[in-house]
């Protein structure tokens, strides 16, 4: 009897895993087709019916936000993942410099789905990709191939009221979990004199991490947690007369520790909660 029960459990787990592989592939296929539809139909329509460039950018960003919201909902409906957002009310402002860690492939999608008036920095390759070049150009996102002009463009975006989303790691966190930040985001904060709105993203079990293929799904659906924390005041780094380059370096090291400890705090809290539940049973 015990063997038969274990066999049924293994069968259910195998069926569940096969479904989530299929559902993940279906999700990303839908994402690609959606991007192509936006490029070929939606954004050309906006060019015709929305005459003012500024209004057209705002409409394009709202279309992308709602599309990403639908994509997140689609993945949840298919049973690929679940999510929770903590401190979402802190995103209901303008001109935010939002810095987040980057554990998975879809972190950008999550933040873009729930941040209004969002701008972001995208890789130069996305400006040529047939599925993404339409949306990123229509929405006026920033191209990371612009070199020295990128910093001034970021500051101008913030001063214009955009909520600028940056992943300071520059790429997904490696499998080791070690967070190493580039200094560009800190330079935006220091030179633009902007407080930082930190977002800590965790995923358990891990999926879509650096080096992982989309079909390498975890044993169960992924649970994402997006925690929007209180702002980090920039005055503590620039108010003591330090050179901007020194302040940016100090802020970068602080943020590396901040994000690392934030992940560890959540992991510890989750582990303690699991232990309490086991003890109660």
- Cβ proximity of 236 and 170 under 8 Å: no
- Cβ proximity of 135 and 64 under 8 Å: yes
Alpha carbon separation from 5 to 10, 12, 13, 173, 204 (Å, rounded): 9, 11, 12, 39, 27
Quote the pLDDT of residue 277. 45
Interacting residues of 38 by C-beta distance below 8 A, sequence separation 6+: 63, 64, 67, 134, 135, 138
- Cβ proximity of 142 and 121 under 8 Å: yes
Q: What is the CB neighbour count within 10 angstroms for residue 229?
A: 15
Average pLDDT, the chain: 89
- Cβ proximity of 136 and 35 under 8 Å: no
What would the pLDDT profile of 94-132 be if each residue is shown by its tens digit? 999 999 999 999 999 999 999 999 999 888 777 777 767
Quote the pLDDT of residue 143. 86
The model's pTM is: 0.90
Q: Which residues pair with 219 in a beta bridge?
A: none
Quote the pLDDT of residue 80. 94
């Amino acid at each position: 009897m015990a063997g038969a029960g274990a066999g049924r459990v293994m069968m259910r787990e195998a069926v569940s895993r096969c479904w989530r592989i299929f559902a993940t592939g279906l999700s990303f296929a839908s994402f690609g087709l959606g991007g192509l539809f936006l490029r070929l139909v939606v954004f050309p329509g906006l060019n015709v019916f929305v005459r003012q460039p500024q209004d057209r950018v705002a409409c394009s960003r709202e279309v992308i936000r709602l599309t990403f919201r639908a994509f997140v909902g689609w993945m949840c409906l298919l049973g690929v993942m679940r999510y929770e957002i903590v401190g979402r009310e802190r995103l209901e402002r303008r001109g935010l410099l939002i810095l987040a860690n980057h554990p998975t492939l879809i972190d950008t999608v999550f933040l873009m789905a729930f941040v209004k008036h969002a701008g972001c920095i995208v890789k130069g390759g996305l400006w040529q990709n047939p599925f993404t070049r339409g949306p990123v150009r229509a929405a006026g996102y920033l191209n990371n191939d612009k070199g020295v002009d990128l910093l001034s463009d970021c500051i101008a975006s913030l001063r214009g009221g955009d909520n600028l989303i940056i992943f300071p790691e520059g790429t997904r966190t490696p499998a080791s979990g070690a967070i190493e930040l580039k200094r560009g985001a800190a330079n935006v904060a220091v030179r633009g004199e902007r407080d930082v709105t930190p977002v800590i993203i965790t995923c358990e079990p891990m999926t879509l991490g650096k080096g992982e293929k989309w079909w390498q799904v975890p044993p169960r659906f992924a649970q994402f947690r997006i925690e929007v924390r209180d702002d980090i005041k920039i005055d503590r780094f620039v108010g003591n007369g330090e050179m901007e380059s020194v302040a940016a370096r100090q802020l970068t090291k602080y943020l590396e520790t901040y994000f690392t400890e934030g992940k560890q705090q959540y992991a510890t809290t989750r582990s303690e909660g699991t232990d309490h539940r086991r003890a109660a049973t």
